[in-house]
Amino acid sequence: MEARVIAEEDRLGELPAELKDPGGSSAAGPVQRILYVTSEMTDYVKAGGLGDVSAALPRSLGQLHDVRVLIPGYRQVLAVEEDIPVVARLPAAHGLPACELGRIDCADGLTVYVILCPELYDREGSPYGDESGTDWADNDIRFARLGLAAAQIAAGVRDLDWTPSLLHLNDWPSALGSAYVAWAGMTTPSVLTIHNLAYQGLFEPSRLRSLGVPDSAFGVEGVEFYGKLSFLKAGIVYASHVTTVSETYAREITTPEYGCGLDGLLRKLDGEGRLTGILNGIDESWDPRTDSHLESPFAPNDFKGKKANADEVRRDFGLAVSRGPLFAVVSRLVHQKGVDLTIESTETIVRQGGQVVVTGRGEDRFERAMERLASRYPGQVGVRIGFEEPMARRMFAGSDFLLMPSRFEPCGLSQMYAQRMGSLPIARATGGLADTIKDGVTGFLFRDPSLGAMLSAIYRAVDAFGSRRKLNAMRRAAMSEPYGWTRSAAGYSSVYDRALAGPAP
């Protein structure tokens, strides 16, 4: 016993003796203490949907539980919040540096803990890479530090009057949290939400020592993935429960086609009742009546108001005046999003009298191809390479259709934002797209990831555009879809109950 305690201290850094392993003794009461661990939060920085979810879900869950967020102290956080008070110190462990823990009390009552470690996080760029999009070379250390901080907080930290009864981890950057808990012999339960299985956080085994991964854990039953260390697999192996962001995606990832090499493990989890799909929601800021980013706010029945937004978007993108349909693309420009299909379909759209506006950022080849389309179809195709949320909002509000031919889509928020703004998504029937779009009612779905299948959905959309009655009925149906966070929060709450009731694996 003595030896085990010393080993725990060693692994998590020097723990104060009186605070050892309080997580293990947490009682499952109606209000749980949840530490929501994330690498993005739209209040400060967002690379995709995870930022939006991390800003909204903890706030909604806060109605049911004592939820606090843990994020790295990126430059963007330090820029928004001056003089963050330090509330605790987290010791160094293995090759991971010591750091300070800051506390932000948001105006709406949410508590956000920030890992203050300038050498790892205070940099110009995104959470994951530099301005040119190249991943930071020390991402293993940066995000192992995030997971370790979560485990250290779960173990109890001197001067911090709060210990979580459960860790809620998100995607590979925080996934190692559950492994550090297990390797320290603690029993704090954890829930891992997979927002995207395709990003796994794979690193060379030469890094194991400095990250504090025990040799015994580096095998197929543990954190090894074809000779590499996989942060995401570690999370899946050690978390009490795994969730994904839609029900369809939860089923899809148990198949070889969508399982990214982890489908066997995920099937096992599913068989044990430890894999659950919970659909994301969207927050109330997505409302065309009140959105301050829109020059012409409009009510769900006011389609003239919607048209004013279309005219503004056309002007913004330098498009010709037109009475034809306006198609929007608001997307990371990556293979996942079926960008190649969008590019191939543009010629047909323009021939049908449609126009296309694109805002996106991502792989160089797709950015260039989009720019070529704009110069090939001046006045009909407008492209902005970049990431600008106000522009994205105006595009959802002004467009008639959103193109989202994703090859896979764990949930997808853009299609829900578009629907709320009266723009009908044209999307592949996969993951969250299949769960949020009713074909021919609130959007258009197609099955095969092929140009032919996408074009047939586009033809159906153009047909609907030709019939005002049909178009407006579909817009009304899309705008009144009851997306919100309450239902998702209830889903997470029952997953927390199960994780707190059962033993960690």
The token duo for 16 is 């104060």
Q: How many Cα atoms within 13 Å fall on the side-chain side of residue 264?
A: 4
Q: Are 322 and 465 in contact (CB under 8 A)?
A: no
Q: Are 216 and 182 in contact (CB under 8 A)?
A: no
Find the binder of ligand ADP among 9, 40, 43, 52 (CB under 6 A).
52
Q: Does 291 bind ligand ADP (CB under 6 A)?
A: no
Give the footprint of ligand ADP on residues 312-331 (CB under 6 A): 330-331
CB of 280 to ligand GLC, least distance (A): 5
Long-range contacts (CB closer than 8 Å, 24 or more residues apart) made by 38-43: 38/69, 38/70, 38/71, 38/170, 38/173, 38/174, 39/71, 39/72, 39/127, 39/128, 39/143, 39/146, 39/170, 39/171, 39/173, 39/174, 40/71, 40/127, 41/69, 41/71, 41/112, 43/80, 43/106, 43/112
Find the binder of ligand GLC among 411, 424, 471, 495 (CB under 6 A).
411
Could you tell me the CA-to-CA distances from 287 to 396, 416, 421 in Å, in that order? 11, 11, 7
Find the binder of ligand GLC among 48, 214, 259, 491 (CB under 6 A).
48
Closest CB to ligand ADP among 94 and 393? 393
Q: Which residues pair with 437 in a beta bridge?
A: none
139 interface partner picked from ligand GLC, ligand ADP, none, CB below 5 to 8 A per type: none
Closest CB to ligand ADP among 13 and 360? 360
Q: Does 48 bind ligand ADP (CB under 6 A)?
A: yes
Tell me which residue has its CB nearest to ligand GLC. Answer: 49
Find the binder of ligand GLC among 26, 280, 346, 415 (CB under 6 A).
280
CB of 148 to ligand ADP, least distance (A): 26
Q: Does 413 bind ligand GLC (CB under 6 A)?
A: yes
Distance CA 481, CA 446 (A): 20
Q: Are 194 and 234 in contact (CB under 8 A)?
A: no
Closest CB to ligand GLC among 11 and 195? 195
Q: Does 195 bind ligand GLC (CB under 6 A)?
A: yes
Calculate Rg over the CA atoms of the chain: 23
213 interface partner picked from ligand ADP, ligand GLC, none, CB below 5 to 8 A per type: none
Phi, psi (degrees; rounded to nearest 5) at 323: -105, 5
The pairing of beta strand 190-194 with beta strand 202-203: unpaired
Residue 308 sits at the vertex; the CA angle it makes with 304 and 309, to the nearest 5 degrees, is: 120
Q: Which residues pair with 203 in a beta bridge?
A: 229
Q: Does 244 bind ligand GLC (CB under 6 A)?
A: no
Find the binder of ligand GLC among 101, 245, 333, 343 (CB under 6 A).
245
Choices 86-94, 355-363, 447-455, 456-464; region in contact with ligand ADP by CB under 6 A: 355-363
Which positions ≥6 away from 452 have C-beta within 8 Å? none
Distance CA 415, CA 266 (A): 27
Q: Does 380 bind ligand ADP (CB under 6 A)?
A: no
Find the binder of ligand ADP among 23, 49, 156, 201 (CB under 6 A).
49
104 interface partner picked from ligand GLC, ligand ADP, none, CB below 5 to 8 A per type: none
Closest CB to ligand GLC among 234 and 413? 413
b/e per residue 275-299 (b: at least 16 CB within 10 A): bbbbbbbbbeebbbeebeebebbbe
Q: Are 398 and 313 in contact (CB under 8 A)?
A: yes
CB of 379 to ligand ADP, least distance (A): 22
Binding mask 457-496 for ligand GLC (x = CB under 6 A): ----------------------------------------
392 interface partner picked from ligand GLC, ligand ADP, none, CB below 5 to 8 A per type: ligand ADP
Closest CB to ligand ADP among 314 and 337? 337
Q: Does 49 bind ligand GLC (CB under 6 A)?
A: yes
Interface residues with ligand GLC (CB under 6 A) are 48-50, 53, 195-196, 245, 280, 409-413, 432
Interface residues with ligand ADP (CB under 6 A) are 48-49, 52, 330-332, 359-361, 387-389, 392, 411-414, 417
